[in-house]
Amino acid sequence: MSFNCMLLLNTPTSPSRRGEINRPEYADLKPLVAKLTTAKQAIDEGAASVGQAPITWADTIVVAGKVATELSWVDIKIKRAALESGGRTIAEQFGTEFPLQLGRLDATEPDAASGLPSFDAPVEEITVCGGLVNCDHTRE
């Protein structure tokens, strides 16, 4: 069994339009898709107001990953510092930037079912899916 976490969101319009969000293995991701949909709509409205094309779902996912990583970095530094202001200074002055290159294209057709394990799956199922033990599938 294997899965590709990008299958769900590589879509030109909405994950629900391709039907992938309705697959059982993606049920736990519906709240995330709803949040990303709201963010994408806001970005698209801003882009339209200045004559730009909407952001693709593929780029939306990458931007969300970058934002989540940066916010986690700040949160970790603040929690580890003796003073919140010191942690914030460290996070803001010494954070590692990683640039984003936008322009990813979305898939136009749904991919095959992925077999993504549920959030409460036993460790054995998760490690099989992660390729950490012998599996029936091959990795590309």
Phi, psi of 54 (to 5 degrees): -65, 155
Residue 140 lies in a domain: no
Residue 106 lies in a domain: yes
Decide: 45 and 67 in contact? Cβ < 8 Å.
Answer: no
Tens of pLDDT, residue by residue over 86-124, are 888 887 888 777 788 888 888 777 777 766 677 788 887
Residue 6 lies in a domain: no
- Provide, rounded to the nearest whole percent, the portion of the chain with pLDDT above 70: 74
Under the banding of pLDDT at 50, 70 and 90, the label for residue 45 is very high
Decide: 2 and 132 in contact? Cβ < 8 Å.
Answer: no
* Distance, CA of 110 to CA of 133 (rounded, Å): 28
* Distance, CA of 107 to CA of 7 (rounded, Å): 9
Range of the domain at 100: 20-129
Number of folded domains that form the chain: 1
Residue 4, pLDDT > 60, answer no
Write down the pLDDT at residue 108. 78
CA-based nearest residue to 61, from 96, 105, 97: 105
Q: Two tokens at 10?
A: 């590589």
Q: What is the pTM of this model?
A: 0.64
Residue 26 lies in a domain: yes
Under the banding of pLDDT at 50, 70 and 90, the label for residue 7 is very low
Under the banding of pLDDT at 50, 70 and 90, the label for residue 49 is very high
Amino acid present at 38: T
Tens of pLDDT, residue by residue over 55-87, are 998 899 899 999 898 888 888 888 888 888 888
CA-derived radius of gyration, the chain: 18
